[in-house]
Amino acid sequence: MSIFIHPTLILLGGALLLPWVRGPLRTAYLLAVPLLALTAVLGNSMLNGNLATLTYLEWQLVFGRVDKLSTIFALIMALVTVLATLYGLHVEKNCEHIAAWTYAAGSLGVIYCGDYLSLFLFWEMMAFSSVFLIWFRRGPQSLQTGYRYLIIHTIGGVILLAGILLRYQAVGDISFTLMDIKEPQLYTWLIMLGFGLNAAVVPLHSWLPDAYGEASFNGAVFLCAITTKTAVYALARACAGMEVLVVFGVIMALYGLVYALLENDIRRLLAWSIVSQVGYMVAGIGIGTELAINGAVAHAVVHILYKSLLFMGTGAVLYSTGKTKFSELGGLYAKMPATCGLTLIGCLSIAAAPCFAAYVSKSMIIGAGFEAHQNWAAWLLMFAAIGTILYNGLKLPYFLFFGENRCSNTTWNKAGDPPLNMLIAMTFGAALCFLVGVAPGFLYSALPFATSYNPYTAYHLVETLQLLGFTALAFYLCRRLLVPKDVVYVDMDWIYRQGGRAFMWLVRHPLQWFDWAWGELYRSFALPLIMLVARFSSWFDWHIIDGIVDGFARTVRALGGHLRLLQSGRIQFVFFQVFALAALLLITLALFLVY
């Protein structure tokens, strides 16, 4: 009988022990930990139901909800953790592996949890560990970018927490299940927005190109796979069928591709591509039919495969040349043939070319749109698919590996295929992209709903070849218009980045002036007044209060001195006291009798 083993514990335990593992064992250990986590996920896939439960106060926390949806996401997350760790195997700094594993552990925690309390815990674990993958780039912009990323995700976390608390107040339940989307309440929107921010739903998306373009070469491989797809999982679990998501998804698909077409930075292009591709998944979840959910999940899985491969390919360029801008690269196929070939497989995969990954998933979402009579959404997604072929299938490989060589002599001399472990990881990624493309049966059997979808119909095949071929023709004719320029394209982040600067200006100028004026006012008027009051208080204390207290004390002391004489023990004083007392009594008695 199998037992549920939480892969999060394996990754966290592995991260905790890593600093003590040294020498030749370290490489084996780095591979063993994510492989163990993957094995645990495979073992868990044999189980079903709510496992690993814990009663805390009045709530039941579920750490191991195993069903088809959680299993397929856990499998792909664990698999990409293995690949990304293999890709960064030669990274010597333990902290980078620890941050990456903690991040993946958080994602697996979210995927397996069955309640909002533990979801929030793992959600924040993801945010606070992934920021280190940006900071570890150690570039001139890394620190600022990381802080922006952290602030945005903290805001998203607070929105999510507000939704969770309001929901608990309203329904008295923390279970992480499908919400009542027919009658959405404020908490429904807040939870959806919290998830949506991590899914990079426009206009809450700017953190993604900002952060992923700035991450370390291996950190970006984890980042591109985990945050947005974990959010897609959460949306599929809680918000499936919310029609507004169709609108959000289509906007994402179109918005991302415009920026990707213009972008000059190879990794920012891929980041914009994530916004666009996650748009397909969000739209699929919004459509909400079985085919659409299956399509969204299948696309999330293959997206993780090809996007991690593409980030590995561009990461190899960054690793060897130190450059990421098209305007400083080009013609690299001659110096990086293996990287070029493997990255091309990623490009074919995202372009949905037959026999490659997205061919078997993207058409499911678009087909589901037509089937659900959401024709406008399906046509716009089809339109966006042309954009995907343009920016990722053609522009990226053409201007990076072929086209005009814009490398400086230094860049050109440094360019070369990366170390063996990086190439092996890329080869595995490319092989998986091809395998899932030619034999999607395993993927389809693992989807949440049973499906008989067949992407290899003659019509779909010829349709796709036309889309690819004639988009390539348009690219060929217009390629000069798409030559990347060394400029930036402002986005929604302009608002908060300039808002931040405006805030800093407000602090440095009006607020600082007010602080100075207040200080001067205090020094000129308030301080002398306070000193006057203090001097008066001192005089009053010294002369009046102390005078009374000291005078009283002196009187008591003098009286005490006199009384002491009476207690000296001499017989003549005793007689004196007795006779004086007797005389006093006699006088009192006499006066009493007389009056």
Partner 1 sequence: MKEVNTPSPAKNGAVKATLFALLAGVAVLSLMVENQHPHSWLEAHLPFFWSFFAFFSAIVLIGLSKWLAKAGLEAPPDCYDIPLLPSEEES
Residue ranges binding partner 1 (CB under 8 A): 257-259, 261-262, 331, 334, 370, 375, 378-379, 382-383, 386-387, 389-390, 405, 407, 409, 412, 458-459, 462-463, 465-475, 478, 481-482, 485-491, 494, 497-498, 501-502, 505, 508-509
**In this complex, which beta carbon is closest to partner 1, that of residue 200 or of residue 261?**
261
Supply the minimum distance, in Å, between the C-beta of residue 501 and partner 1. 6
CA distances from 530 to 75, 522, 524 (A): 71, 10, 11
Q: Which is nearer to partner 1, 494 or 573 (CB)?
A: 494
Rank residues 1 and 481 by Cβ distance to partner 1 and give the closer one.
481
Q: Which is nearer to partner 1, 90 or 414 (CB)?
A: 414
In this structure, what DSSP letter does residue 508 have? I
> Residue 143 CB, nearest distance to partner 1 (Å)?
15
Phi, psi of 299 (to 5 degrees): -70, -35
**Residue 402: exposed, middle, or buried by beta-carbon count in 10 A (0-12, 13-18, 19+)?**
middle
Number of residues that this document lists for the chain: 595
Nearest to partner 1 of 498, 577 (CB atom)? 498
Identify the three-state secondary structure at position 55: strand
Confirm if 307 and 277 have CB atoms less than 8 A apart. yes
Choose between 463 and 515: whose C-beta lies nearer to partner 1. 463
- Please identify, using beta-carbon distances, which residue of 26 and 497 lies nearer to partner 1: 497
Written as six digits, the tokens of 559 are 């009286």
Kindly state the smallest distance separating residue 283's Cβ from partner 1, in Å.
16
Radius of gyration from C-alpha coordinates of the chain: 37
Q: Are 53 and 112 in contact (CB under 8 A)?
A: no
Q: How far is CA 435 from CA 72, 289, 307, 576, in A?
A: 17, 27, 15, 124
CB of 349 to partner 1, least distance (A): 18
Q: Which two tokens stand for residue 495?
A: 């608002």
CB of 334 to partner 1, least distance (A): 5
Residue 220: CB minimum distance to partner 1, A: 21
- The dihedral built from the CA positions of residue 533, 537, 540 and 542, taken in this order, carries a sign that is negative
Minimal CA–CA distance to 210: which of 260, 142, 155?
142
Q: Which is nearer to partner 1, 49 or 337 (CB)?
A: 337
Tell me the pairing of strands 49-56 and 59-66: antiparallel
Cα–Cα dist 484/264, whole Å: 5
Residue 451, helix vs strand vs coil: coil
CB of 482 to partner 1, least distance (A): 6
Nearer residue to partner 1 within complex by CB, 34 or 249? 249
The angle subtended at Cα 509 by Cα 507 and Cα 511, nearest 5°, is 50
Shortest distance, position 5 Cβ to partner 1, whole Å: 45
Shortest distance in whole angstroms from residue 110 CB to partner 1: 33
